[in-house]
């Protein structure tokens, strides 16, 4: 069965530290990749997405992600986090389904301390 794995369930770091969250998927065909963020008490918002082209994609709020096809990975990065980046981060994969069906990873809780 297809799966989406986020290896870190909880990450605690200080402001100005760099952040990298891992996401791996198991599907060998064409994929479309997303990172969503859920701030405390809020709904999910799209951070960035990858469909094709440049494997390094830039999103909102200084986030970027790199698609490495050979590693089935789509890791999220931010060079310098802020307290306001405290949130739950979800990787999501569309396994070539034309209806846009998304499979989500289990999420990573990120806590940024002042």
Site of interaction with other proteins (CB under 8 A) = 32, 34, 36, 38, 42-46, 49, 51, 88, 90, 94, 97-104, 106-107, 109
The number of residues making up the chain comes to 114
CA angle 21, 108, 106 (to 5 degrees): 110
Q: How far is the CB of 81 from other proteins (least distance, A)?
A: 20
Cα–Cα distance measured from residue 87 to residue 48, given in angstroms and rounded to the nearest whole number: 15
Residue among 61 and 101 whose Cβ is closer to other proteins: 101
Residue among 32 and 73 whose Cβ is closer to other proteins: 32
Q: How far is the CB of 48 from other proteins (least distance, A)?
A: 10
Residue among 16 and 46 whose Cβ is closer to other proteins: 46
| Neighbouring-strand partners of residue 77 | 20, 64
Q: How far is the CB of 89 from other proteins (least distance, A)?
A: 10
Cα–Cα distance measured from residue 22 to residue 31, given in angstroms and rounded to the nearest whole number: 16
Q: How far is the CB of 32 from other proteins (least distance, A)?
A: 5
Residue among 24 and 94 whose Cβ is closer to other proteins: 94
- CB burial of 89-112 (b: ≥16 within 10 Å; e: otherwise) equals bbbbbbbeeeeeebbebebbebeb
């Amino acid at each position: 069965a297809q799966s989406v794995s986020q290896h870190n369930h909880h990450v605690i770091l200080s402001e100005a530290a760099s952040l990298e969250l891992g996401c791996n998927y198991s599907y060998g065909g064409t994929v479309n990749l997303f990172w969503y963020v859920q701030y405390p008490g809020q709904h999910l918002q799209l951070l960035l997405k990858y469909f094709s082209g440049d494997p390094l994609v830039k999103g909102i709020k200084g986030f970027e992600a790199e698609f490495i096809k050979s590693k089935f990975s789509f890791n999220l990065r931010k060079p310098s986090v802020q307290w306001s980046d405290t949130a739950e981060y979800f990787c999501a994969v569309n396994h070539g389904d034309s209806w846009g069906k998304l499979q989500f990873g289990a999420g990573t809780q990120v806590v940024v301390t002042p």
